[in-house]
Structure 1
Amino acid sequence: MNAAGRGSAMVRRRTPEPTGSGRGWKEQLRRVSELCLLGLVATALSLPLVTIGAVVAVLSSAVAHWADHDDLPPWRVMAAELRQRLLPGVAVSVVGVLAAVVVVNQVRWLASGAVPGGTPALVALLVAIAGLLAVVLLAVPRLAGGGSWRAALAGGWTALLRVPAAGAAALGVTLIAAVLAVTLPGVGLLLPALLVLALHALHRALVLPRS
């Protein structure tokens, strides 16, 4: 065989085989559907409010597994982790709900003038709220694999101080999710797992390389 013939044979051997029409997008649809279903279940389990802490922790573990293994862990495994995290998560849930109520009331009172301070106090309060929320969002990926809320929040605080851009990015994706949830309520029920996936992606891209 001459050189041209050998070159043509090598090109033919290196040409990837077709994967089949539609196989790629069907696989991606399956993967995204799994996360949407997980988000729907997480939303339903969070309705009692006192379960939010445990649900978020299990959701973080499940999404991390999905990202690493291209599949969700078995539902029985997630249910077992939820049972283990339920009691420790009650305190987190209660504190979180009470904090949200206090924050909403404070913002409303400052905005209406019922509490003195005006615009400067309102801006300062919103900045503080954004900082604390960023810490919580950066803590979520650290819950995967059985991490406790206390250790995760400490890690989130450290991450915010070390990589402020990660906190800003986490707030940004959360704001997008909130806007979608308000404008498209039905879609909002499916978003929790996708939001947690985005937080994991930010954690791996911005926080871990600087650890």
Structure 2
Amino acid sequence: MTAAVSAGGWKEQLRRVGELALLGIVAVLVSLPVLTLGAAVATVSTAVGHWADHDDLPPWRAMGAEFVRRLLPGMPVGVVAVLAVFVVSQQVAWLRAGVVPGGGGVLVLFGVAVACLAAVALLAVPRLAGRGTWRAALAAGWTDLLRAPAAGLAALSVTAVAVLLAVLLPGVVLVLPALLVLALHAVHRRLVPPRP
């Protein structure tokens, strides 16, 4: 009897992780046009929040409707994300080459500022679940970082692990998005105190 329960247990866990992996694959494919990135992240966050609360993903039809609802409001997010990556990489290159004065000290300060902004964006992801907008989620992410800096550090840490896995095992990048969003939800629920 115990063996049957434990066998069902690991099979159920495998099914649940498989659902998230499939959601991650769909999210990667849908995000390829870049303009759909904001809608994809918001939809995955909503689906993962539902999965964490109800132990199951919402129906695919409901996730598709959520994606369509989030598409137009999320378009600027993809553009801003691409521009941010370009600007940060260009600034780092200029600082390292000495084109911009300041050297190592300014590079460290710039890195801290970028890490803080990244932490705000990462803490905003769980806030997108449900009806949350990007603007409200980012404002809440800023507040969350100020109230619980450890949550920002934890969000950066789980993201760094995901990036490391993606670099070391390139094929894993397809299944990582939903698992990363789940980790961000767990960090948020564990480390961000509820608002008074």
Is TM-score (shorter-chain normalized) higher than 0.5? yes
Which whole-Å deviations, capped at 9, do the CAs of 1:143-188 have from their partners, x for residues lacking one?
0002000100000000000100000000000000000001101012
Q: Percent identity?
A: 67
Determine helix, strand or coil for the equivalent of 2:56: coil
Q: Distance in 2 between matches of 1:74 and 1:30?
A: 15
Q: Is 2:39 aligned against 1:54?
A: yes
Of the three residues 89, 92, 97, the one matched with 2:77 is 92
Where in structure 2 are the equivalents of 1:34-73 lying within 5 Å? 34-73=19-58
Where in structure 2 are the equivalents of 1:129-148 lying within 5 Å? 129-148=114-133
Q: Distance in 2 between matches of 1:54 and 1:181?
A: 22
Q: Is 2:11 aligned against 1:32?
A: no
CA contact (8 A) 2:148 2:193 kept: no
Determine helix, strand or coil for the equivalent of 1:50: coil
CA contact (8 A) 2:123 2:188 kept: yes
Q: Shift of residue 189 of structure 1?
A: 1.4
1:187 aligns with 172
Larger radius of gyration: 1
Determine helix, strand or coil for the equivalent of 2:2: coil
What is the aligned residue count? 195
Q: Distance in 1 between matches of 2:193 and 2:130?
A: 16
Q: Distance in 2 between matches of 1:77 and 1:210?
A: 29
Where in structure 2 are the equivalents of 1:1-211 lying within 5 Å? 18=2, 20=4, 22-209=7-194, 211=196
Determine helix, strand or coil for the equivalent of 1:115: coil
Q: Shift of residue 95 of structure 1?
A: 1.3
- Deviation above 3 Å: which 4+ runs of structure 1? 208-211
Gaps of 5+ in 1: 1-16
Determine helix, strand or coil for the equivalent of 2:38: helix
Using structure 1 for the length normalisation, give the TM-score. 0.89
Deviates more, 1:94-103 or 1:127-136: 94-103
The one-letter code matched in structure 2 to 1:93 is G
Q: Shift of residue 210 of structure 1?
A: 6.0
Q: Distance in 2 between matches of 1:24 and 1:139?
A: 33
The one-letter code matched in structure 1 to 2:11 is K
Q: Distance in 1 between matches of 2:148 and 2:68?
A: 34
Determine helix, strand or coil for the equivalent of 2:192: helix
Q: Give the aligned CA root-mean-square deviation in angstroms.
A: 1.2
